[in-house]
């Protein structure tokens, strides 16, 4: 059974590598890219979101699928070759790739509002690889998680600290832009890179959190700290998603004079929404960090949830007051 899933993974990775190479070759030669979905593939593959930390996504895809082909090809050629560390590494990489594919698909759906057939196909192949990886290892999922519990804890704390720093910088820069409604192409590019950094740390936080809490999930139903952390994480995902996928792209278009469907009072509404999302998201990051440091001293479920709700309420009021003051100024 493991061999069957390993073969599926290798075949999916070969298909994914071919897709990534096709997009890389077309872009490099500046040739027209046919889109079977009758959409505009080039609007997606040539957008500002076609790079991650300055690296073209098709190159990242080629590297990822190449690693998967070589790794599982080795397992097929030499059965029993993989150690527990090797299996853990493959599971981590495939999980991160699946989450990254979901992030890129969200950009197509909410920001670009264009679909790229090849990008969606690559996302589907990444998902197939991730699911197959769960069954292709000779080690069970819980065995892998238990083996690296300490590593998960260290990486979780590190990711949380990096995320708090990133979201603080992002919020400050965004607020400076919202104050005068002007942003240059360089500033827009900088914000996109910081956004990618925040999403990367958030993905690391989610993955390491799963590694820590999944083995003990049955005992966490009445854990106030865990429930508040999950709620804060949901708020972070919603607020960051709203800013990066819905609000920021429209603000960039307005500021840079790009064509878009304009609505009466749009700029004021977008600014208000940005203030609310940025403050609530930042406060939720700080809440996660606070609970990670001193969370064990809190045990009362209703009290902790209510305290977090009060923090969000205060953040909401502050956001509206700031927006009102700037609007009067």
pLDDT tens for 51-84 read: 998 899 999 999 999 999 999 998 888 876 667 8
The whole-chain average pLDDT of the chain stands at: 86
152 has a pLDDT exceeding 80: yes
Helix/strand/coil percentages in the chain, nearest 5: 85, 0, 15
User: Does residue 279 sit in the same domain as residue 201?
Assistant: yes
Please write the tens of the pLDDT for every residue from 85-116: 888 999 999 999 999 999 999 999 888 888 88
User: Does residue 138 sit in the same domain as residue 245?
Assistant: no
Specify the pLDDT at position 250. 83
124-133, 168-177, 215-224: least confident range: 215-224
Q: What are the phi and psi torsion angles at 52 (to 5°)?
A: -125, 115
User: Does residue 319 sit in the same domain as residue 255?
Assistant: yes
Q: Closest Cα to residue 92, out of 107, 71, 118?
A: 71
User: Does residue 64 sit in the same domain as residue 212?
Assistant: no
Do residues 108 and 35 make contact, with C-beta atoms less than 8 angstroms apart? Answer: no
User: Does residue 133 sit in the same domain as residue 273?
Assistant: no
| Domains in the chain, number | 2
Specify the pLDDT at position 301. 63
1 has a pLDDT exceeding 90: no
Do residues 134 and 95 make contact, with C-beta atoms less than 8 angstroms apart? Answer: no
130 has a pLDDT exceeding 90: yes
Do residues 145 and 92 make contact, with C-beta atoms less than 8 angstroms apart? Answer: no
Specify the pLDDT at position 233. 94
Do residues 133 and 9 make contact, with C-beta atoms less than 8 angstroms apart? Answer: yes
Q: How far is CA 135 from CA 2, 70, 72, 149, in A?
A: 6, 18, 13, 21
User: Does residue 266 sit in the same domain as residue 123?
Assistant: no
Which of 37-51, 106-120, 170-184 is the most confident on average?
Answer: 106-120
User: Does residue 140 sit in the same domain as residue 158?
Assistant: no
For 229-236, what is the mean pLDDT?
A: 93
Please write the tens of the pLDDT for every residue from 278-308: 999 999 999 999 888 776 655 566 778 888 9
The angle formed by the CA atoms of residues 172, 99 and 46, to the nearest 5 degrees, is: 70
User: Does residue 123 sit in the same domain as residue 66?
Assistant: yes
User: Does residue 97 sit in the same domain as residue 158?
Assistant: no
Do residues 304 and 225 make contact, with C-beta atoms less than 8 angstroms apart? Answer: yes
Using pLDDT thresholds of 50, 70 and 90, give the confidence band for residue 8. Answer: very high
Q: How far is CA 266 from CA 120, 180, 272, 292, in A?
A: 31, 15, 10, 39
Query: Considering the entire predicted model, what is its pTM?
Result: 0.86
159 has a pLDDT exceeding 60: yes
Task: Tell me the residue range of the domain where 213 lies.
Answer: 148-328
| Domain boundary residue, one of 145, 163, 194 | 145
Specify the pLDDT at position 319. 87
């Amino acid at each position: 059974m493991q061999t069957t899933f390993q073969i599926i993974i290798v075949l999916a990775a070969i298909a994914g590598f071919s897709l990534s190479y096709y997009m890389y070759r077309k872009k490099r030669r500046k040739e027209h890219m046919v889109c079977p979905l009758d959409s505009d593939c080039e609007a997606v593959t040539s957008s500002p979101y076609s790079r991650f930390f300055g690296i073209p996504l098709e190159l990242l895809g080629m590297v990822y699928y190449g690693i998967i082909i070589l790794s599982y090809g080795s397992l097929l050629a030499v059965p029993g070759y993989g150690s527990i560390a090797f299996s853990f590494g493959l599971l981590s990489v495939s999980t991160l790739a699946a989450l990254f594919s979901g992030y890129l698909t969200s950009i197509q759906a909410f920001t670009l509002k264009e679909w790229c057939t090849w990008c969606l196909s690559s996302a589907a192949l990444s998902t197939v690889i991730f699911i197959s990886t769960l069954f292709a290892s000779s080690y069970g999922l819980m065995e892998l998680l238990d083996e690296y519990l300490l590593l998960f804890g260290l990486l979780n704390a590190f990711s949380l600290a990096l995320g708090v720093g990133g979201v603080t910088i992002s919020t400050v820069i965004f607020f400076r832009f919202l104050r005068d409604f002007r942003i240059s192409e360089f500033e827009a590019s900088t914000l996109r890179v910081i956004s990618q950094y925040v999403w990367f740390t958030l993905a690391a936080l989610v993955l390491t959190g799963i590694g820590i809490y999944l083995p003990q999930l049955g005992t966490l139903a009445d854990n106030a700290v865990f429930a508040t952390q999950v709620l804060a994480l949901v708020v972070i995902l919603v607020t960051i998603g709203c800013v990066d996928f819905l609000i920021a792209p429209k603000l960039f278009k307005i500021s840079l004079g790009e064509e878009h469907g304009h609505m009466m009072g749009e700029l004021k509404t977008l600014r208000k929404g940005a203030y609310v999302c940025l403050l609530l998201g930042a406060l939720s990051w700080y809440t996660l960090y606070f609970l990670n440091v001193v969370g064990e001293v809190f045990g009362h479920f209703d009290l902790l949830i209510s305290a977090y709700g009060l923090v969000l309420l205060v953040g909401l009021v502050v956001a509206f007051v700031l927006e009102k003051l700037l609007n009067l100024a």
